Amino acid sequence: MAHDEMTWNHKLQELSRTMPQLEAVVTYDEAMVRSSLNMEELYTLSARFAYLLKQEGVLPGDYVVTTVPMSLEATIILFGTLFAGAVPASLEITFRDGEALMQCMTKLRSRHMIVQDEPWSEVLKFCKSKFEISFHPGSIWADVTSPRMPCLERMMLIKRSGGRNQSFIELLRASDDEYIYEGITPESVGWFCFTTGTETDYIRMTEFSHKTAITIGQLMHQCKVTVCRNRLYENPWFWVSSIPGDILNGKTRVMPDKWRIISDYPLMLVKLIQTEGVEMADIQPLNVKPMLELLDSYTDGKPLLKHLECGGMPVTRSHMEALRPLASRFSIIYGSHELGIISMNVLTAEEIQDFPDYDNGTLAPGVKMRLVDSNGQDVEPGQKGRILVKSPCMFRGYPNEPDRTAARFNKDNWFMSYDQARIEQSNGHVFSGGRIDVIILHGQYMLFPCWLEAMVAPHPAVKKVVSVPFSDVVLFHAIGICIIKHPGASLTKEEVTELILSHVVPGKEFLIRPKAVLFFDKFPTKPDGTVDKPRLSDIVAEHINNGIA
């Protein structure tokens, strides 16, 4: 069977035969305790988990929602669900209202959910507050009733030790029953992702076939150029970049163990990289920024890594200069949750000085791109336009949303991105050119300003609030909150920050923490009387630069 015609099931089975003792996954907890699974163990435990799902009535094509945090357990759940012929939908709770989680489960029509059974689990706390759960002594399954989600029937509760149930991995090791669904084809759904949706719809979910997911994994592996034996990945499993191209290509994936909330995550990442001898990493900009502040104390002046992957936001020379101490070589990967990899650029630390802002490199193999104006007509060569794409990495669609899927394609079946770009005629490089919608790109996280404004507006001291992005060297956008108070009202910057952070679960505060909170008597306006948000953004940046925000 040709490599690109394989399914995840066949590929991991092949690896378990050809390199059974190679470590597939390595994790470290905050105390630097190391755990791992080799290829044979990952395959076997995944097949045993698939058997549990089959016995529970999980059917081929079902979406099984898992909220288990990054860990060996989560990796087994992902592959095991695929082995059962189902689709793993890895989700988490960021905002306390849990709306994104409920939207996802409702749209996916999920009958089964897997939850970490620990006292600190925010998901379990949320589920107990929203669902009727009937626990069964000695069983890892519980019955669930939810008027909001009538499809949801059963919840699997997994632990590491003690308490209600046996350790999840110990349970699987003690079993001899295995299952691999043989009806999966390369065109079956083989990966699920989700990201920011719209101003009124929290999430946007995408699904990829086994074949397409493997193609994306191959391209990710090819674009790194540097030969490395392992790779640190710390981003959520539900991002398209989480597709395990490293494991697929016989490399070891190294991950932080997030079973417990980590108190000092950037420091933990630095120690993990040094302890394991990690050579390549994909690290979120929101975590890179504090890591850079630790380098002088934990390194001898040499780069921490051989290779660092960048992406998920427009990249400038100043951004790359800031990252220079981290690695000797860098990959800039441009893509999306619908299109996988679109283009890639690789450069050494020495080449950063000549790096042009927003250079995303050349199109990935097989990718075709058009740039069009507001009327859908091709722009002149070298001019900026809206990105249209055809790609071998194209998603299958938005799950159970055929109208939404169809709306993203034009009559000639080109996918219509919200991004803009220009193509340099001399070398074919794709240069980011902004978006056609208004969004705060905070590191790799997309936030709509209205979300943040809705968190602040109900406060009795607030007459008007506007959230604006402003430039940040590492994050691309920092968050600015601009407020007009009611006359005589009292409200401090610290109170505004705490008000915003109160909307997210513990450990997620970094996602929406504002860098600047400013109070105004009046906002600048345009001739039509609306708030001049670009000018407001400039004012916030000026205050930050002067150290008074």
pLDDT in tens, 376-408: 999 999 999 999 999 999 999 999 999 999 999
Domain that includes residue 422, residue range: 285-435
Which of 259, 89, 255, 30 has the alpha carbon at shortest distance from 158? 259
By percentage, how much of the chain surpasses pLDDT 90? 74
pLDDT category, 240, cuts 50, 70, 90?
Answer: confident
Residue 309 has pLDDT above 70, yes or no: yes
Which of 390, 406, 435 is the last residue before a domain boundary? Answer: 435
Enter the tokens of residue 32: 């630097």
Q: What share of the chain is helix, strand, coil (3-state, %, to 5)?
A: 30, 30, 40
Q: Are residues 350 and 486 in the same domain?
A: no
SS3 assignment, position 196: strand
Which of 470, 209, 239, 247 has the alpha carbon at shortest distance from 333? 239
* pLDDT value, residue 4: 40
* pLDDT value, residue 450: 93
SS3 assignment, position 433: strand
Average pLDDT over residues 206-227: 80
Q: Compute the mean pLDDT over every residue in the chain, rounded to the nearest whole number.
A: 91
Which of 174, 191, 210 is the last residue before a domain boundary? Answer: 210
pLDDT in tens, 423-457: 999 999 999 988 877 789 898 888 999 999 999 99
pLDDT category, 195, cuts 50, 70, 90?
Answer: confident
- Residue 137: inside a domain: yes
Which of 295, 345, 360, 349 has the alpha carbon at shortest distance from 324? 349
pLDDT category, 311, cuts 50, 70, 90?
Answer: confident
CATH number, domain with residue 90: 3.40.50.12780
CATH number, domain with residue 539: 3.30.300.30
Average pLDDT over residues 496-524: 94
Q: Are residues 422 and 459 in the same domain?
A: no
pLDDT in tens, 96-119: 888 888 988 999 999 999 999 999
Q: Are residues 373 and 448 in the same domain?
A: no
Q: Are residues 471 and 421 in the same domain?
A: no
Which of 151, 177, 210 is the last residue before a domain boundary? Answer: 210
Residue 226 has pLDDT above 80, yes or no: no
Q: Are residues 73 and 154 in the same domain?
A: yes
3-state secondary structure 37-93: EEHHHHHHHHHHHHHHHHHHCCCCCCEEEECCCCCHHHHHHHHHHHHCCCEEEECCC
* pLDDT value, residue 5: 58
- Residue 222: inside a domain: no
Which of 99, 64, 104 has the alpha carbon at shortest distance from 83? 64
- Residue 395: inside a domain: yes
Q: Are residues 314 and 410 in the same domain?
A: yes
Residue 410 has pLDDT above 70, yes or no: yes
Q: Are residues 497 and 417 in the same domain?
A: no
* pLDDT value, residue 162: 57
Count structural domains, the chain. 3
Average pLDDT over residues 491-511: 93
Q: Are residues 159 and 21 in the same domain?
A: yes
Residue 327 has pLDDT above 70, yes or no: yes
* pLDDT value, residue 3: 43
Other CB atoms within a 10 A radius of the CB of residue 461 amount to: 15
The alpha carbon of 37 is separated from its chain's Cα centroid by a whole number of angstroms, namely 23
Q: Are residues 457 and 416 in the same domain?
A: no
DSSP class of 3: G
- Residue 228: inside a domain: no
Q: Name every residue whose Cβ is closer than 8 Å to that of residue 205 and which is 6 or more positions away in sequence.
A: 89, 104, 107, 108, 192, 193, 194, 398, 399, 401
Average pLDDT over residues 411-432: 95
Which of 56, 75, 70 has the alpha carbon at shortest distance from 28? 70
